[in-house]
Amino acid sequence: MSSELSPIDKAKYACAVKSVDFVKDGMRVGLGTGSTAAWMVKRLGERVRDEGLNIVAVATSTRTAQLAEEVGIKVSTLNEVEWLDLTIDGADEFDPDLNLIKGGGGAHLQEKVVATASERMIVIADAAKDVPQLGAFPLPVEVLNFGWKTTRGLIEEALEDLDVDGREITLRMSGDEPFITDEGNLVLDLHLKRIGDPRRMALILNQIPGVVENGLFIDICDVVVIGHEDGKVEVRGLGGQIMEEGTVDLGAPNLFKDI
Using CA atoms, how far apart are residues 11 and 13, in angstroms rounded to an integer?
A: 5
**Is residue 222 marked as binding?**
no
Angle in degrees, CA 23, 24, 27, rounded to 5? 85
Q: Which residues contact 225 (CB under 8 A, 6 or more apart)?
A: 15, 18, 19, 122, 123, 124, 125, 233, 234, 235, 236
**Is residue 85 marked as binding?**
no
**Is residue 90 marked as binding?**
yes
**Is residue 231 marked as binding?**
no
**Is residue 104 marked as binding?**
yes
CB contact at 8 A, 223 and 122: yes
**Is residue 92 marked as binding?**
yes
Given the residues 51, 80, 111, 244, the one annotated as active site: 111
**Is residue 129 marked as binding?**
yes
* Residue 244 annotated to the active site: no
**Is residue 34 marked as binding?**
yes
**Is residue 91 marked as binding?**
yes
- Residues making up the binding site for substrate: 33-36, 89-92, 102-105, 129
Q: Which residues are catalytic?
A: 111
